[in-house]
A and B are shown apart, each in its own frame.
Chain A
Amino acid sequence: MASQDTIRFISERCDGCGDCMTACAKAKGSASRVAIVAGSDGGWEMALCRQCGDPKCVANCPAGALDKHRDSGIVDWFKDLCVDCHLCTVGCVYGGIVFDPAAGHVQKCDMCDGSPACVPACDKGALEHLSAAGRLHEIHADKEDMFVPGLSACQGCNSELLIRHTMRRIGRNSVVAAPPGCIPGMGTVGYNGQTGAKMPIFHPLLTNTAAMLGGVKRQYERKGRDVTVVALAGDGGAVDVGFQSLSGAAERGERVLFICVDNEGYMNTGMQASGSTTFGSWTSTTPVGEIGRGKSTDGKYLPQLLMGHGCAYVATASTAFLDDYHAKLEKALEASRTGFAYLHVHAPCPTGWRFPAAMTTEVCRRQVETNFVTLWEFTPEDGLCFTRGVGRPRPVSDYVGMIGKYKHLGPAELERIQASVHRRVEVLQGFRRRSTAAG
């Protein structure tokens, strides 16, 4: 059985407030199915159903009252079949299925139809809604892989992962633009008459991706054809020279999905700095020397600027949180039917940033855990909404310390990075809708 959605507990963040339990009890109208208990070392622990891959509670049920759902992966409990033998509780070592005296039968977490009430209730970020790649595999495995099997991307680059996932989802009835950069550099558009993808794909200029796609889309709209139009651009083609056409297309509300894969520099051409390169970064044009200390200014934070354009949908994403990415891709595609949609995907570059190729996903995760990267989505109606809590981040040094391009940084520079991380979170919090921001 494939692994499925679970809720992860980050004990270090939990202060035992019990908000999750309150939220669960309220959502379910019964005793909470998540239990926070005092740990032996002064910290907190959690008992909750893990929706196991091979659930023993199901094996122990004589009545067929428990079943792991094939698609959702949720272990479902059926009240009308249950005979109250409680043998399921014998199978569970997580305290995930428990007799509730008030209800008179066992209870367990059902993931609230995919959006667990407890997770957002925890403003400490101690609960994380995880769904493993396995579930994505379940959803996407049957879809056609639109991408050439052999590629010349660097080892450990997460762009291939991202492109495959994205292309699988958007499928053949689409037009994809890949402006110059690592994405076509790895063979996406092909060489000498050979193509890298099964859908129509092209190299726009570094500068004009959004405008060209706008033109493509307009013609199909004129002809009454529903064609998905997507850009897979780097940060140079979005933040720097591509910015004008991006801004214009966003303002015009072209029905386009623009995905910026941000590796914070011109990595394909040899790791030069871009407008997106962050403070302190070593790059080949912001080198470290007697005087040079890497990039001296902060990076331009494009997703925030796109919010200012009032796009139909703006979101940030990380490949360490692929389920979150897919959810956003879904919304972005939908939004791109009526207006401009923008996805900003953070793409750490093992080659250019100098970290081991095997660490990419860990680096992605750490970016998010430190709030160096925040995951959120924005619509004009609902304002900004964090899709992963920003409370209680790890210190940014936990991230910076993993990356070779920051190796030369001293405490003062680290402090500055930490301060700008805080500042950005504060600024983003300001974009939340007043009613939610107040809470």
Chain B
Amino acid sequence: MHARYLIIGSSHAGREALAAIRMADPQGRLVMLSRERHRPYSPTILPYVVSGRSDPRKVGLGSVAWFAENRAELVLDAQVVAVDADARAVRLADGGCWTYDKLLLATGAEPVVPPVEGLEGVRYHVLRTLDDALAIRARAATARRAVVLGAGLVGMHAAETLAGAGLDVTVVEMRPHVLAEYFDPRASTLIRETFERHGTHMMMGRRVERAAGVETEACRLGLDDGTELEADLLLVAAGVRPALRMLADSGIATDKGILVDTRMRTARDGVWAAGDVAQAPGFPTGAPMVNGTLPEAVEQGRIAGMDMAGDDDLRPYLGGIPLNTYGFFGRHAVAVGAAAAPAGDGVEVVTDEGDGYCRIALKDNRLIGLAAIDRVMDAGILWRLIQRRVDLGPVRDRFLSHPLETARALMSRGWR
């Protein structure tokens, strides 16, 4: 079977590309393949599926009607196992084959399972798919003690959810801080303390070295400092890596992820990649980076789709900027850019704990990063200020004392 546009992966990057293609080309056959048996959904929603707050049937990213309106075919249960860029074809696990004119790889990321002795012998969970979430939810109903391995976004979300479900939760993180890829140590500490206040055990700077099964589902874990933990529910959330397996021998260049340029083109003609699977130029240096966040997947997906359809309005990618918003126990945090950049080497850091927490990193009077807790911030505006390297010189003091209002005023003026 042949498609003019073939998209692998039905999450944010794929969906956004689909919409962008249809803006420019209303006709060409457009097919989306997903290995899932569920209709498209976002991985970000999964913690809320675990907690029961989100109904799995309502969390769809694209309804049947939406696909119909966009004249796009969605093929479920279609796992791609190989890409042949010479033949412009992909092969499916069930032996099927699709040829294409233009291919988008939006296969996202998969959980990393760290090398822990005995882990393969025990029942553990990961959280990336809806089935994963439903399994954890089922298990949490009877479990008493949960151990979460890793304090990244997934681990922290899951820990809060499980704590909310009444489990006794322990988080083990080998790095000294939670969410270290986004927040500076002070912010991380504030977040961690909040977890602790809510009864979650936060074991920072520890490594799980051994795992052993106890009964059918429970297990015993041995940490590097000799601590022994028992868990009825073990969640491995030690990070993700791009889902590249099907690319072997395809000639598509990869590093940590699929290497793409500012139009999301891979090394092979007719193949694009976007989202968590891609390694795109980072901001401001252009050095390739995997920036596995949802807004980034959306942005890259749109650019890929526009380029695939030959949309003249395409503006090349400006470079990935780490960025996140994070709600926890009724509090809220935001981190944009190099929010954890240490002072010195031209970087100026101003922190303010007057009302919540705010850390601003400037370089040459330009914003390079900002982290805040319990402070209302417009993450989108801050993102733009960084990306456009807006000179804050004239409003520096105001920006430092009133970042929200000053950023809004700058943006509003720019838009008029």
In the complex they form, whether A and B have CB atoms below 8 Å apart is answered with yes
Cα distance A35–B383 when bound, in Å? Answer: 19
CA distance A64 to B376 in the complex (A): 23
Question: Which residues from chain B contact A63 at a C-beta distance below 8 Å?
Answer: 42, 45, 48, 54, 59
Nearest to B62 among chain A residues (CB) is A64
The distance in angstroms between the C-alpha atoms of A4 and B234, with both chains bound, is: 50
Asked if residues A45 and B44 are in contact (CB atoms below 8 Å), the reply is no
Q: When the two chains form the complex, which single residue of B54, B295, B408 contacts A45, counting CB atoms closer than 8 Å?
A: B408
Residues of A within 8 A of B48 (CB): 63, 83
CB-defined contacts of A38 to chain B, threshold 8 Å: 405, 409
> Which of B54, B298, B378, B413 is close to A60, meaning CB atoms less than 8 Å apart?
B298
List of 6 A-B pairs having minimum Cβ-Cβ separation, nearest first: A62-B42, A86-B325, A45-B412, A62-B44, A45-B409, A37-B405
* Interface 1/0 per residue, B377-408 and A, CB below 8 Å: 11111011000000000110010000001111
| Contacting pair B413 A47 (CB below 8 A) | no
Question: Given known contacts A37-B405, A87-B294, is B45 in contact with A94 (CB within 8 Å)?
Answer: no
Are B384 and A35 interface neighbours, CB within 8 A? no
How far is B326's CA from A208's CA once the two chains are assembled, in angstroms?
A: 71
Q: Which of A47, A85, A91 makes the CB contact (< 8 A) with B44?
A: A85
A83: chain B residues within 8 A (beta carbon):
45, 48, 53-54
Smallest CB–CB gap between B17 and chain A, Å?
11
The docked-state distance in angstroms from the alpha carbon of A104 to that of B415 is: 29
With a CB–CB cut-off of 8 A, which chain A residues contact B409?
37-40, 45
A60 touches B45 (CB 8 A): no
Q: CA of A116 to CA of B148 in the docked complex: distance in angstroms? A: 48
CB-based contact A90/B327 at 8 Å: no
Residues of B close to A151: CB separation below 8 A:
none
B48, closest chain A residue (CB): A83
Is the CB of B78 closer than 8 A to any CB of chain A?
A: no
Instruction: Give the docked Cα–Cα distance between A83 and B302 (Å).
Output: 24
Cβ-based interface call for A59 (8 A): yes
Interface membership of A95, Cβ < 8 A: yes
Roughly how many angstroms separate A310 CA and B211 CA in the complex, as a whole number?
89
- Residues on B with C-beta less than 8 A from A386 are none
Is A84 positioned at the interface, with any CB of B under 8 Å from its CB? Answer: yes
Interface membership of chain A positions 23-46, coded 1 if the CB is closer than 8 angstroms to chain B and 0 otherwise: 000000000000101111000011
Q: Which residue of A lies closest to B383 (CB)?
A: A90
CB pair A93–B411 under 8 Å, yes or no, is yes
Contacts of B245 in A (CB 8 A): none
Does B374 lie within 8 Å of A101, measured CB to CB? yes
Judged by a CB distance under 8 angstroms, whether A89 is at the interface is yes
Q: In the complex the two chains form, is A87's CB within 8 Å of B383's CB? A: no
CA distance A94 to B325 in the complex (A): 17
B223: shortest Cβ distance to chain A, in Å?
31
Contact (A40, B415) CB under 8 Å given A63-B59, A86-B325, A95-B378: no
Nearest CB in chain A to that of B374: its residue: A101
Given A37-B412, A83-B45, A87-B325: A56 and B378 interface contact (C-beta under 8 Å) = no
* Chain A residues positioned under 8 Å from B330 (CB to CB): 104
**Residue B16 lies at the interface, judged by CB distance under 8 Å to chain A:** yes
Contacts of B380 in A (CB 8 A): 56, 89-95
Contact with A along B13-48 (1 / 0, CB 8 A): 000100100000000000000000000001111001
Q: How far is the CB of B322 from chain A (nearest CB, A)?
A: 11
**A38 vs B398: C-alpha distance when bound (angstroms):** 10
- Do residues A9 and B378 form an inter-chain contact, with CB atoms below 8 A? no
Q: How many Å lie between the Cα of A174 and that of B12 in the bound state?
A: 51
Residue B416 is within 8 A (CB to CB) of chain A in the complex = yes
Inter-chain contacts of A59 with B (CB < 8 A): 12, 16, 19, 298, 302
15 A-B contacts (beta carbon < 8 Å): A35-B408, A37-B409, A39-B412, A46-B412, A47-B411, A56-B380, A59-B19, A62-B294, A64-B58, A83-B54, A86-B334, A90-B323, A91-B295, A93-B380, A94-B411
Determine whether the beta carbon of A60 is less than 8 Å from that of B376: no
Is A230 positioned at the interface, with any CB of B under 8 Å from its CB?
no
Q: Which residue of A lies closest to B295 (CB)?
A: A90
Chain A residues with Cβ below 8 Å from B376 are 98-101
User: B325 touching A95 by the CB < 8 A rule?
Assistant: no
CB-nearest residue of chain B relative to A10? B416
Interface string of B72-94 (1 = CB under 8 A from A): 00000000000000000000000
Residues of the A chain whose Cβ atoms lie less than 8 Å from the Cβ of B44:
62, 85, 87
B61 in the interface, Cβ–Cβ < 8 Å? yes
Within 8 A of A (CB), among B340-381: 374, 376-381
Interfacial chain B residues near A37, Cβ < 8 Å = 405-406, 408-409, 412
Tell me if A195 counts as interface (CB < 8 A to partner B).
Answer: no
B contact residues around A9 at 8 Å (CB): 412, 416
Q: Given that A84-B327, A87-B325, A89-B379 are contacting pairs, would A99 and B58 also be in contact in the complex, using a CB cutoff of 8 Å?
A: no
Compute how far the CA of A240 lies from the CA of B411 in the bound complex, rounded to whole angstroms. 52
- B241 interfacial contact with A, CB 8 Å: no
Q: Is the CB of A87 within 8 A of B295?
A: yes
Give Cα A89–Cα B323 distance, bound, in whole angstroms.
11
**Out of A47, A84, A90, which one reaches B408, CB within 8 Å?**
A47
Contact B327 A98 (CB under 8 A): no
Bound Cα distance from A260 to B378, whole angstroms: 48
| B222 located at the interface, meaning its Cβ lies under 8 Å from any Cβ of chain A in the complex | no
Interface check A11, CB cutoff 8 A? yes
Q: Which residues of A contact B334 (CB under 8 A)?
A: 86, 89
Give B152 Cβ to nearest chain A Cβ, in Å: 15
Most buried by B among A40, A85, A86, A92: A85
Tell me if A60 and B294 are in contact (CB < 8 A): yes
